[in-house]
Amino acid sequence: MKRPAPVAIEHEAIPWLLAAALGTVAPHMAHLPGWLTFLVGVILVWRGWLWQRRRSLPRRGWLVLLVVGSLAAITWQFRTLFGKDAGVALLVVFMALKLLEMASRRDAVVVVILGYFLLLTHYFYSQSVVTGLWLLTMVTCLTATLLRLYGGGQPPLSLVRQAGWMLAQAMPLMLILYLLFPRVTGPLWGLPQDAYTGVSGLADHLAPGSISRLIQSGAIAFRSHFADDRPQQADLYWRGPVFDSFDGQTWRAHARPSTVTDQPPQIESYGKTYAYSTLLEAHNQRWLLALDLPTVLPVASRLMPTLEVLATDPVRLRNRFSFVSTTNFRVNRVETPAILDESLVLPPTVNPRTRALAAEWRSRSPGKIVEAALALFRQENFRYTLQPPLLGGDGIDQFLFDTRQGFCEHYASAFVFLMRAAGVPSRVVAGYQGGEINPVDGYLTVRQSDAHAWAEVWIEGQGWLRIDPTAAVAPSRVEQGIVAALPAAEPLPVLVRIDTDWLRDWRNRWEAANSTWNLWVLGYNPQRQREVLSRLGWPDADWRAMSGALAVLCVVVLGVVAWLTRPATQRPDPAQRAWRRFCNELQRRGVRRSEWEGPLAFAERVAGEQPALATVTREAAGYYATLRYGRQVDDELRRLQQCRQRLPPRRRCEL
């Protein structure tokens, strides 16, 4: 059997396809290589020029060269054809090159389907409200493009309205699926290994410049909501990773020795505790950010011997965690000897001047040694800055005795080195300090620019004590925030330095809306689903019950939508009713009219098959044709109705 020829695309439909391709690809240009953005732009302009000039598409040989060249360039750029970035680049190239061979309607449908799929990949890079609104707009555009391909020429606004109405019909089904589809703790399918690269947050090490670079980002690290009062600004230390191993340049977390037991830290809480929930952004690490020091932890997490909270799995999706913390505490008055020994280790030979200074303090008590180090920072000409001079091999010596300019990681690192050299167990803690209350929703917003590092020392009988040497140099950093501690010339993000009321109000409202989106849409996890269903009176819902309810409600909704969108049926007018009755009488006499048969043609066929019915049938057909396609006259309607009565009896027709 010969295959039918492919249906060509209407010339006027091609701009719809070009617009759909541009809309689905454009947001990816921010993270694609420059050469790929240029290539895609050239192809789109070239295809638009071919359409405008009504020129033929390029030959297949040129397309093959473009495909091979693009694949080679992507492989060279990403060192692979697999993974998040390389995979998205391939999809973008395929979308662009498909436009150059798009000649039939089938090719156009492939472009639209590729556009639908490409929209999903935008969530690899952004999950904000703006991204959601843009994707909804492009889904409408792609649906309108399909309507244009199969529905012919129509006004653009009419096509967009039809597409919007189709999506509105799917809204009830979408809400049911959102509410009842059983949630899982991870994605439904495997993600590429680099799907979580590019996330912002604290690193798994601390070196001069690591936090000062992070602080130049205004991105949100997490948002916390307190059930009651919140602590004072100076007590807002959000504990993250703990670093207790130093190689002379970089601090890292020491591998836990086998001699350390699983005994939980001994926390003695004094005064008020604070219950709060935290909406933590993905940072692809296991540590959670908790107010120092947490006493009640979220599920699937653990308080380590170094007092950091680690989750079972890396935080690869935005998630909500609930804590109870105390800000007035003593912890581990009796510490494991292995941890104390690790907290005294220093690399040999580095920073001799710092070692010599610490050696002068060794005869003092640990408390006096701490006071001496803090007095050094207060009394000497140290300066708090994001742009300190570069340091060499003996970086702490140069910082303490030469440059005396640095950021929090410089002060914390130098202080801990001094303590260890003087015989006081100590370590570096990284995290965040401070935060700003959003008056719109009452959440405390902590940004990457609030990143901070401080020190902990262990003193016998007192346990681990937090010491912030940065506060000795720039107390306003802890009491008022990063903006108050740095001069205007320092490179802080614009979002952090906003001092205009209306801009700050706009930012607060936008971040509150994003937080609601994150909490109820992106953060609709199994725990949140159970909470919502419990509020709706279904506290014991499991996946079997939800699946059954989901199936029943989907059938009901589809039935209601089908009934509401059924084709409207028009009641026949009096002339139609009279003609149908006449034809029904003829059918009883052995003559059946086909649906496609016109009245005059039917009358001629009746005359040939049943001569006895010819005269009355021709009259009835003439009356009906006049009433239906000509003028409406009551006398002719009455005569049409009388024709049925003039039909001869059935026995006479058979004779």
Interval 340-384: pLDDT, tens: 999 999 998 899 999 999 999 999 999 999 999 999 999 988 988
Active-site annotation holder among 408, 410, 450, 583 = 408
Q: What is the pLDDT of residue 463?
A: 93
Whether the per-residue pLDDT at 156 is higher than 50: the answer is yes
pLDDT > 90 in the chain, percent = 30
Sign of the CA dihedral with 158 first, then 160, 161, and 163 last: positive
User: What DSSP letter does each residue of 317-382 carry, written as one string?
Assistant: S-EEEEEEEESSEEE-SS--HHHHHHTT---SSS-HHHHHHHHHHTTS-HHHHHHHHHHHHHHS--
Check if 408 is active-site: yes
Angle at 464 between CA 462 and CA 465, to 5 degrees: 85
Confidence of residue 258 (pLDDT cuts 50, 70, 90): very low
Q: What is the pLDDT of residue 57?
A: 86
Confidence of residue 421 (pLDDT cuts 50, 70, 90): very high
Q: What is the pLDDT of residue 273?
A: 93
Q: What is the pLDDT of residues 75-119, one digit of tens each?
A: 898 888 888 888 888 989 988 888 888 888 888 999 999 999 898
Q: What is the pLDDT of residue 360?
A: 93
Distances (CA, A) of 203 to 192, 223, 269, 408: 21, 19, 30, 15
Active-site annotation holder among 410, 452, 583, 643 = 452
More confident residue, 481 or 406: 406
Q: Where are the alpha helices (DSSP H) in 499-649?
A: 501-517, 526-535, 543-564, 574-588, 599-609, 614-629, 634-646
Span 247-266, mean pLDDT? 74
Q: Report phi then psi at 438, rounded to 5.
A: -90, 115
Check if the beta carbon of residue 39 is closer than 8 Å to that of residue 46. Answer: no
Q: For residue 311, what are the β-bridge partners?
A: 301
- Provide the 3-class DSSP secondary structure of residue 469: helix
Relative orientation angle of helices 14-25 and 129-151, to the nearest 10 degrees: 160
Residue 246 has which token pair? 């130093």
Domain ranges of the chain: 11-154, 205-485, 574-654
DSSP, res 537: T
Residue 603 has which token pair? 């009358």
Q: What is the pLDDT of residue 546?
A: 83
Average pLDDT, the chain: 85
More confident residue, 271 or 259: 271
DSSP, res 399: I
Span 580-595, mean pLDDT? 87
Confidence of residue 259 (pLDDT cuts 50, 70, 90): very low
Q: What is the pLDDT of residue 241?
A: 93
Q: What is the pLDDT of residue 426?
A: 95
Distance CA(240)–CA(430), nearest Å, equals 5
Q: What is the pLDDT of residue 274?
A: 95
Active-site annotation holder among 85, 394, 397, 468 = 468
Whether the per-residue pLDDT at 186 is higher than 60: the answer is no
Distance CA(360)–CA(358), nearest Å, equals 5
Residue ranges with strand state E in 122-230 = 205-206, 220-226
Span 128-140, mean pLDDT? 88
Check if 499 is active-site: no
Whether the per-residue pLDDT at 549 is higher than 80: the answer is yes
More confident residue, 427 or 480: 427
Whether the per-residue pLDDT at 465 is higher than 90: the answer is yes
Q: What is the pLDDT of residue 166?
A: 87
Q: Residue 132 region, left (φ>0) first, then alpha (ψ -120 to 50), else beta?
A: alpha
SS (H, E, C) 557-583: HHHHHHHHCCCCCCCCCHHHHHHHHHH
Amino acid at 538: W
Span 560-568, mean pLDDT? 74
Whether the per-residue pLDDT at 406 is higher than 70: the answer is yes
Distances (CA, A) of 129 to 16, 54, 143: 26, 40, 21
Look up tokens 């948002």; give the residue: 223
Please give the span between the terminal C-alpha atoms of the chain, in angstroms, as a whole number. Answer: 49
Which residues neighbour 515 within 8 Å (Cβ) at sequence distance 6 or greater? 223, 279, 441, 443
Check if 468 is active-site: yes
Residue ranges with strand state E in 201-318 = 205-206, 220-226, 237-243, 245-246, 251-252, 267-269, 273-280, 287-288, 290-291, 294-296, 301-303, 309-311
Span 529-543, mean pLDDT? 80
Span 476-487, mean pLDDT? 76
Distance CA(304)–CA(301), nearest Å, equals 9
